[in-house]
Amino acid sequence: MWVQVLNDRIDRIRENEKKSHTEIYQKETLYSSNTWLGKTIKTVKELVPYFEDYEIIRALDLGAGVGRNSIFLAEQFRDKDCRIDCVDLLDIAIDKLKQNAAVHSVDNSINGITQSIEDYIIAPDSYDLIMAVSALEHVDSEESFVSKLKEIEEGIRDHGIVCLIINSEINEINIETSQELEPQFEVNISTEKMKNMLSDVFKNWTVIKESVVNQKYEIPRDGITSRLTTNVVTFVAQR
């Protein structure tokens, strides 16, 4: 009974996510959009110097979308033997990712994989960089979240880097009535707990960047406008 209720919740959230992502991926053009697809995030841009001396780079982008971060990195690493495995649940994300990789002439480096983050098994010691930007909070349970963090930790080679940006402590209210709404995120962990999980799993790593930024958005939802507040946790560390 409870399992069914939980599965229904995940299905409902994923259906909504699919709708909103499909709309934006169909409408907007990578790097020339006023939406979040307009530019690569600064934290990812800051990773480039760490790979200056590498000739071969193997990277993984979990919940890669249409390649906002991976295509930028593939362009920066054009003179290296670079492969970035890009995993996303949605066919349309991976189709657009491949088109974008061709447009930016990095199709040799971008490997699109249509799969869920939960199902994509990260082999130990296999990547120099693993990133997940606004993606890990979409795995199907807190247990999956913790086990994926451990897999990421084991999947990164010596001197390799993890770059995670994760929404935490997410709240949503109807702007007109102030009624609380269920945030459309599969996993919603308190900020303190998230920070503790990250420092537990990545203990003994060198932390490069750690921040929490409170953000507020107004978003259309089922005919009303809701206000979403979130603490965005950024965690970049080197093994």
Ligand X SMILES: C[S@@+](CC[C@H](N)C(=O)[O-])C[C@H]1O[C@@H](n2cnc3c(N)ncnc32)[C@H](O)[C@@H]1O
CA nearest neighbour of 164 among 139, 185, 135, 123: 135
54-74 exposure pattern, b = at least 16 Cβ within 10 A, e = fewer = eeebbbbbbbbbbbbbbbbbb
**Near ligand X by CB under 6 A: residue from 86, 117, 163, 194:** 117
Question: Judged by CB under 6 A, does residue 128 bind ligand X?
Answer: no
CB of 73 or CB of 82, closer to ligand X: 73
Binding mask 45-64 for ligand X (x = CB under 6 A): ------------------xx
From the list 77-85, 87-95, 190-198, 223-231, the region that binds ligand X by CB under 6 A is 87-95
Give the angle subtended at the CA of 228 by the CAs of 95 and 86, to the nearest 5°.
25
The single residue among 33, 99, 134, 174 that binds ligand X, judged by CB under 6 A, is 134
Q: Rule CB under 6 A: say whether 106 interacts with ligand X.
A: no
Cβ at position 33, least distance to ligand X in Å:
11
Binding ligand X (rule: CB under 6 A), the pick from 43, 85, 88, 164 is 88
Residue 138 found at the interface with ligand X (CB under 6 A): yes
**Residue 106: exposure state from Cβ atoms within 10 A (0-12, 13-18, ≥19):** buried
Question: CB-wise, 84 or 206, nearer to ligand X?
Answer: 84
Residue 89 found at the interface with ligand X (CB under 6 A): yes
Q: In this chain, which stretch among 48-56, 111-119, 175-183, 197-205 interacts with ligand X, using CB under 6 A?
A: 111-119
Strands (E), 8-144: 56-62, 81-88, 110-114, 127-133
Tokens encoding 53: 């001396």
d(Cα 100, Cα 73) in Å, to the nearest integer? 13
Among residues 176 and 188, whose Cβ is nearest to ligand X? 188
Residue 21 binding ligand X, by CB under 6 A: yes
Sequence-separated contacts (24+) of 216-221 with Cβ below 8 Å: 218/175, 221/172, 221/181, 221/184
Contact residues for ligand X, defined by CB under 6 A: 21, 63-65, 68-69, 87-90, 93, 116-118, 133-135, 138-139
